[in-house]
Structures are given as structure tokens and as C-alpha cells.
């Protein structure tokens, strides 16, 4: 359970955040004045070349105009950055609301509820970025709307105590006013970036044609080059300001997180696991790296000390933060590394039992090979066998992992079905009436796979996954696989060619969710498992035929261990 921070601690931190906000605005105004004046000189040369004989007096006039415009632009930029709605920020980060039907997401939402109770900040939106990377962030807009977000890697890989420590860190950013400050600071360099893009080399021909009409080719190119260089320098210096602000406040958030969760060791474990994995850099806009608990982009400066590191890195060294937590926990870094390196499926299965109340997993149905026209096929589940018109009590079958061939009626599970029929499968209320298997044309049933809500066909055992669900499944290791499944997936990978159409024998299908065309694509070219992805950008559902989702998990786990 998270504990509230002392009132005086919160007051001091918020006062420091307000002071840093005023400092940020002051620095921004100074930078604008300096760079607008620097831009005034090439502008004067380009627009008024005839005034060069009286350059000093003429430049003072231009400088006064540039300074006034700079103050106005800085204020407008500050107000604009402050008023960016939280929804826009979350959309830029690709964050989505936590799924109330997902076991792991519900655990995350429960921790957020504890954070709300500890801080009195309500509501705190629980959002998840659908990436297998590991990271977490907090954000707040000018209206006081707040959110704490994690990636699928964090919500699935961390234990509850570690996840609580991460949420405590991000909650302290909200309580201290850091989240609003950093959200504001992330938007500050935007104007310089826009100006630099306007004057970029990519637009050279457009400006050359424009200047040719004016008869001033050389002056136009020089002016554009000056604007590009000056705005680029302004962009770098403005980023340095907010990087410095972000870096100095991470240590404070770590300390306040320990005060809230009373567990410095879990905080150290969480930082160690996040910093040592892929952090989602390719899926997170670089300009928002200061919002995250660890820099999403790997940078050597993040693990260094000194003036250069303080200016150009958004976070203090992860090793320093971890060592500080360990010193408070009276623990040793070698013991932490040994514990984390040995953490495997058993630890995750314990977490899984906590999520679902310790209930054992459902026993897998028996599988059989079937003989037809002197050829063996399968394996099939009993429901699939009874879907064949030729299947009778006298059909020869062979159970999986057995060499005992018998008539179907000699197998007790099959005999019971022959005598009493298949059990009725009531249509789930949550499943839309038009959710039908694209292969078997029967209604899909709702189920849970690795804690995530999916829909499955009771006959062909295919799976329909909503958008971003595949990323959740990949990072979770609750399900164990038999040696035959592992071997089959490895052989599948070796046999598949680099062409999705040739690799999959099934025809193109329609999406069960929106009826859009589904395209055959590789889940990734690294593992080369073919899936069907809905072409509708508003849907993006995925259909996995029998064995595909398991093959993806097996091959991804093998790749991550290499």
C-alpha cells in the first residue's frame, strides 16, 4: 500500500517546481531575444541591402523590432505549450487506456487507485503504451488532467512490488509538480525545430526558385543557411535547459517514491530490470524522453557524470540511482544482479497465480491423429474430429505422444461425446453476434490468453486478437511449451520463405471484427511467422491460425535469449 508524502515535503517540491517553471520561462525569453536578434542581421541584409552604408543605426531599429517579437513569441510559445491537452500528449506517445478485461492491466489499475488514495490526486488516468519495451511515464496538462503510463513490457515483466515502486516514482512527479513542468518543457524547443525545418536543405530548390524570381540567388541561400544554423542552435540550447531540469528532479522522485512505497529494494530491482532491457525508443517520440523513468533512447551520456552529461542527458546515471536505492535497503549490487539474472518462468507463474487467485490453469484437451484413406492427419481436438463428416466410432485414431492406434470409440473422451454429444457452448454476452471464425464460420468464444482478452474458435483453435494485444502476449511468459511445440516452431522458421503469400497456404480472409480484408504479413522478419492483420487502420485486429501465436511466443523468447 502506498503511503502519502509529508505535506511539507510536497509543499517544498511544488515550490521548487514553480521556481523552475519561472526560470524556464526566463531562459526561454532570453534565448528568443538572442536568436531573434541574430536572425535580424541576415534578414536586414536580405531584405534591405541598400541600407548597408548605415548598418549600425539601421540594425538598432531591426534589433528593437526583433526583441519585441521575441518576447511576444516566447510568451505565446509558453502559453501554447502549457495549454496542450493531455489527450494530445497521450496520442503522440501512442498510449491507450488500460484494458479492464486484462489481468495484468487490472493489477496496474489497482496500484493507480492506491496512488490516488495516497496523494488525493483524482482521477489519475491509467494508460499503457503497446510496445514490448520497458518504461513508464507521467504527464499533466495545464488544466490539471493527469496520467500515469507504462509499457506492456513493464506491466507484464515486473512483479507487483516492483510495479508499485515504479508507480510511486511517477506519482511523486505528479505530487511534486514535476510532471506539469516536464510536460511543458518538452514542448518548448518546438518553435526552433519548426523554423529549422522551414529552412532545411530539403527545401533548397523551392527557395532557389523563389529567390531567382527576385534576382537574389546568393542572398536567399545565405539567408536560409543562417536561419537554419541559428534555429538549430536555439533548438539544441532549449533542449539542454529542459534536460537539465529533468535530470535534477529524477533523484528527488526516486527519494519520494521510497517514502511512498517503503521498499527501496523493489525500486532498485525495477530500475535494474528496466535499464537493462529495450526501453521502447523506436516507439516513443524522442522529444518526450524527459517524461519517462528511464531515457527511452540508449545514450552513453546517461551513464556519465560531468558538465557535458548534465547538459545533454535527460536522466542521471541508472547505476547511481540503483546504488542509492540499495544503500537505503542495506543491500548489495551483486546480490541484486544474481537475483534478477536467475528470475525466470517460476517467478512469473507466482505473479500469475496472484493475478487469478491461484487457480490452476485449465487442463489441455486431448489431441488425436486421425487416419483417412490410409493417411494420417492432425493432431486434432475432439471438437475438430466431430466436425468431419467421415468421422465415426470406427475411424482409426492415435492419441498424441502415443503409438497405440485404436478405433475412436475405444478412447473414453471420444466415446462420451459419441454417447452424449458435444457440450453446448453458450454464446458469450461480450462477443458480438457477428464475431465468426473466418475459417470455420462458427461463433468465436471469449477467453483469456496470458491474462489478455482474446476470442478463439472452438474447432480450429485460431485466435482473434485486438489491436496491441499481441504485444502483451509476447512479453508474458506464463504459458509453458512442450518440446514438440518448440521443435515444431524451430522447423517452421527454417522452412518459411521470405514471402508471406507463399508461406501461408490459407486464402485471404475477412476480419471477424470489422469485416475488412486481412493481409498476410510476417509478425516480424526476425521470426518469420505469418499472421493475418486487418487492413482497416481503425481496427488492426490480428488473426492467428492454429499454432501461430504459440510459435511467435516460442521464437521471440529464443531470440531474446540469444
- Report DSSP letters for 28-92, one per residue: HHHHHHHHHHHHHHHHHHHH-GGGGGGHHHHHHHHHHHHHHHHHHHHHHHHHHHHT--HHHHHHH
**Is there a single domain that holds both residue 145 and residue 282?**
yes
Q: Are residues 325 and 453 in the same domain?
A: no
Does 124 fall in a domain? yes
Judge if 154 and 212 occupy the same domain: yes
Report yes or no on whether pTM surpasses 0.75. Answer: no
Tell me the C-alpha distance between 533 and 551, whole Å: 16
Same domain, 457 and 411: no
Query: What's the confidence (pLDDT) of residue 208?
Result: 47
pLDDT for residue 428 is more than 70: no
Are 92 and 192 members of one domain? yes
| Contact between residue 543 and residue 509 where contact means Cβ atoms under 8 Å apart | yes
Q: Is position 353 within any domain? A: no
Residue 35 predicted with pLDDT over 90: no
Same domain, 412 and 462: no
pLDDT digits (tens, 9 = 90+) for 37-70: 777 766 665 555 555 555 566 667 777 887 888 7
Do 507 and 555 belong together in one domain? yes
Residue 173 lies in a domain: yes
Do 413 and 456 share a domain, yes or no?
A: no
Whole-number pLDDT of residue 379: 75
Mean pLDDT of all residues in the chain? 76
More confident residue, 198 or 450: 450
- 438 in a structural domain: no
Q: Are 36 and 76 in a shared domain?
A: yes
Query: Hey, what's the cell of 323?
Result: 546504488
Tell me which of 276-290, 400-414, 495-509 is least confident: 495-509
- Residue 432 domain-assigned? no
DSSP characters over 244-256: HHHHHHHHHHHHH
Question: Between these two residues, 197 and 425, which has the higher pLDDT value?
Answer: 197
- Say yes or no: 105 and 5 in one domain: yes
Q: What is the mean pLDDT of residues 501-514?
A: 71
Strand ranges inside 241-355, DSSP E: none
Q: Tens of pLDDT along 112-171? A: 999 999 888 889 999 999 888 889 999 888 888 999 999 998 998 898 999 999 999 999
> What average pLDDT does range 334-343 have in this prediction?
66
* Full domain range(s) for residue 450: 445-561
pLDDT at position 345 is: 44
Task: Judge whether 171 lies within some domain.
Answer: yes
Asked if residue 361 belongs to a domain, the reply is no
Judge if 314 and 404 occupy the same domain. no
Task: Based on the fold, state whether residues 409 and 521 are members of the same structural domain.
Answer: no
437 lies in some domain? no
Q: Quick count: other Cβ atoms within 10 Å of Cβ 61?
A: 12
- DSSP helix/strand/coil, 351: helix
Q: How distant, in Å, are the alpha carbons of 99, 153, 373, 424 from that of 380?
A: 33, 34, 17, 19
Whether the per-residue pLDDT at 197 is higher than 70: the answer is: no
- Structural domain count, the chain: 3
Q: Let me know: does 118 contact 170? Beta carbons within 8 Å.
A: no
pLDDT score of 463 more than 90: yes
What the block records as the C-alpha cell of 39 is 536572425
Amino acid at each position: 500500500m502506498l503511503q502519502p508524502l509529508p505535506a511539507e515535503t510536497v509543499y517544498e517540491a511544488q515550490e521548487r517546481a514553480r521556481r523552475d517553471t519561472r526560470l524556464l520561462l526566463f531562459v526561454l525569453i532570453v534565448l528568443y531575444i538572442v536568436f531573434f536578434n541574430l536572425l535580424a542581421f541576415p534578414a536586414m541584409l536580405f531584405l534591405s541591402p541598400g541600407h548597408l552604408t548605415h548598418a549600425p543605426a539601421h540594425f538598432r531599429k531591426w534589433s528593437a523590432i526583433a526583441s519585441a517579437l521575441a518576447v511576444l513569441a516566447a510568451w505565446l510559445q509558453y502559453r501554447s505549450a502549457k495549454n496542450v491537452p493531455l489527450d494530445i500528449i497521450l496520442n503522440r506517445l501512442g498510449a491507450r487506456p488500460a484494458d479492464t478485461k486484462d489481468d495484468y492491466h487490472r493489477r496496474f489499475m489497482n496500484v493507480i487507485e492506491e496512488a490516488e488514495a495516497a496523494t488525493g490526486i483524482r482521477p489519475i488516468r491509467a494508460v499503457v503504451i503497446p510496445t514490448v519495451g520497458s518504461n513508464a511515464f507521467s504527464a499533466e496538462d495545464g488544466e490539471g488532467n493527469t496520467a500515469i503510463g507504462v509499457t506492456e513490457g513493464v506491466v507484464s515483466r515486473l512483479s507487483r512490488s516492483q510495479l508499485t515502486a515504479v508507480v510511486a516514482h511517477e506519482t511523486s512527479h505528479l505530487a511534486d509538480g514535476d510532471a506539469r513542468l516536464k510536460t511543458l518543457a518538452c514542448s518548448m524547443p518546438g518553435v526552433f525545430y519548426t523554423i529549422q525545418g522551414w529552412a532545411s536543405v530539403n527545401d533548397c530548390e523551392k527557395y532557389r526558385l523563389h529567390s531567382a524570381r527576385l534576382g537574389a540567388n546568393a542572398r536567399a541561400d545565405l539567408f536560409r543557411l543562417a536561419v537554419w544554423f541559428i534555429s538549430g542552435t536555439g533548438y539544441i540550447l532549449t533542449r539542454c535547459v529542459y534536460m537539465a531540469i529533468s535530470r535534477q528532479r529524477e533523484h528527488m522522485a526516486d527519494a519520494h517514491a521510497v517514502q511512498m512505497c517503503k521498499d527501496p529494494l523493489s525500486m532498485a530491482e525495477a530500475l535494474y530490470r528496466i535499464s537493462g532491457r529495450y526501453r521502447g525508443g523506436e516507439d516513443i517520440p524522442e522529444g518526450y524522453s524527459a517524461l519517462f523513468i528511464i531515457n527511452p533512447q540508449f545514450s552513453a551520456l546517461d551513464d556519465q557524470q560531468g558538465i557535458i552529461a548534465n547538459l545533454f542527458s535527460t536522466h542521471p546515471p541508472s547505476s547511481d540511482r540503483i546504488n542509492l536505492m540499495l544503500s537505503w535497503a542495506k543491500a548489495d549490487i551483486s546480490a541484486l544482479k544474481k537475483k534478477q539474472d536467475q528470475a525466470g518462468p517460476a517467478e512469473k507463474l507466482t505473479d500469475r497465480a496472484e493475478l487469478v487467485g491461484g487457480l490452476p490453469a485449465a487442463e489441455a484437451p486431448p489431441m488425436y491423429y486421425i487416419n483417412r484413406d490410409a493417411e494420417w492427419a492432425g493432431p486434432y481436438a475432439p471438437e475438430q474430429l466431430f466436425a468431419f463428416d467421415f468421422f465415426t466410432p470406427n475411424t482409426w485414431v492415435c492419441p498424441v505422444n502415443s503409438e497405440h492406434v485404436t478405433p475412436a470409440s475405444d478412447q473414453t473422451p471420444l466415446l462420451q461425446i459419441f454417447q452424449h454429444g458435444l457440450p453446448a457452448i453458450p454464446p458469450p454476452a461480450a462477443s458480438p453476434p457477428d464475431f465468426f471464425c473466418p475459417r470455420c464460420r462458427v461463433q468465436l468464444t471469449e477467453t483469456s490468453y496470458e491474462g489478455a482478452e482474446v476470442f478463439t474458435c472452438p474447432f480450429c483453435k485460431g485466435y482473434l486478437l485486438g489491436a496491441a494485444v499481441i504485444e502483451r502476449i509476447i512479453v508474458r511468459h506464463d504459458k509453458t511449451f512442450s518440446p514438440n511445440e518448440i521443435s515444431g516452431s524451430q522447423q517452421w522458421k527454417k522452412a518459411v520463405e521470405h514471402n508471406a503469400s507463399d508461406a501461408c497456404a490459407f486464402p485471404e480472409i475477412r476480419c471477424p471484427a470489422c469485416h475488412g480484408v486481412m493481409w498476410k504479413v510476417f509478425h516480424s522478419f526476425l521470426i518469420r511467422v505469418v499472421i493475418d492483420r486487418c487492413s482497416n487502420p481503425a481496427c488492426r485486429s490480428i488473426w492467428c491460425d492454429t499454432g501461430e501465436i504459440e510459435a511467435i511466443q516460442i521464437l521471440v523468447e529464443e531470440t531474446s535469449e540469444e
